[in-house]
Amino acid sequence: MLATAPLQTATDTAEIARRIDADGYAVIEGYIPPAELGSAQEFVRQAVARNGGNYLSIRGANGLEGTFLHSWPEDADFIALCHAIYERTTGKVAPDAPFYQVLRCLSGRLAAANSLNFHYDSYLLTALIPIIIPERGKTGDLLIMPNSRKLRSSYALNFIDKILLDNPLSQKVLRARYERGHRGIRHLKLTPGNLYLFNGYRSIHTNEACDPDAIRSTALLHYVDPHADSALKHLLRRQ
Ligand SMILES: O=C(O)CCC(=O)C(=O)O
Ligand SMILES: [Fe+2]
């Protein structure tokens, strides 16, 4: 049996933070008004068509002009929400860290290669807005093992976690668990226009595939890299 997560709408910040802490994620339904969602969907359809129907991702806000995604990282209410979640879950003052933005458009023959790659994010809080989700065939659920690790005290320990996860054997084990419908892997059925907030740093997660002739597009903002100042991280990234 699949561990399908019930979609509950969180109403206030305290409740959202409590759910992220307890369940690893929270959902705010109908976050994006239909007209704004519609123009972002059209933007994605055109970008995929221009790319020959194939997978693409856009990093940063440049190139997203004309859609709500361009100004999303500067939205005062959204920033206040992320800061409040951070402060409630860590007990520390929220830093004014910039968001790391990615728009993913899964489609075509690279859709499978960009799916079922189980990982931890480098950033503590992940905000995800589904733009287009296939209604038929494979629907591309978000798969999550909520809060599967703690915040690591150093980048070195975080790096060990990443090595233990990002290798063919671990990926094979997790994919086999997913195929068996393991209860520890929750399925979030995504609805365009909702806002999903989850502990990306602490939770092993990935996306299911979608059919090559469909489009599965998600917009992400990542908040606070806890190891941003690590000397080891900078050394490794330089190579
Ligand atoms: O597209 C998704 O559903 C998840 C993507 C993700 O986890 C990431 O980009 O870090
Ligand atoms: Fe991620």
pLDDT digits (tens, 9 = 90+) for 116-158: 999 999 999 999 999 999 998 999 999 999 999 999 989 899 9
- Lookup: tokens for 182: 């393991």
Alpha-carbon distance values, 191 to 142, 203, 212 (Å): 11, 21, 19
pLDDT bin (cut points 50, 70, 90) of residue 237 is confident
Q: What pairing do the DSSP bridges indicate for beta strands 186-188 and 3-4?
A: parallel
Identity of residue 31? Y
pTM for the model stands at 0.92
Q: Is there an atom of ligand 1 within 6 Å of 222 CB?
A: no
Residue 8 has pLDDT above 50, yes or no: no
Residue 7 has pLDDT above 60, yes or no: no
Q: What is the mean pLDDT of residues 205-217?
A: 95
Q: Is there an atom of ligand 1 within 6 Å of 216 CB?
A: no
Please give the distance, rounded to the nearest whole angstrom, from the Cα atom of residue 198 to the centre of ligand 2: 10
Quick one: pLDDT at residue 58?
98
| Whole-angstrom distance, CA of residue 21 vs CA of residue 15 | 10
Quick one: pLDDT at residue 163?
94
Domains of the chain with bracketed CATH: 3-238 (2.60.120.620)
Residue 5 has pLDDT above 90, yes or no: no
pLDDT bin (cut points 50, 70, 90) of residue 33 is very high
Q: What is the mean pLDDT of residues 16-38?
A: 94
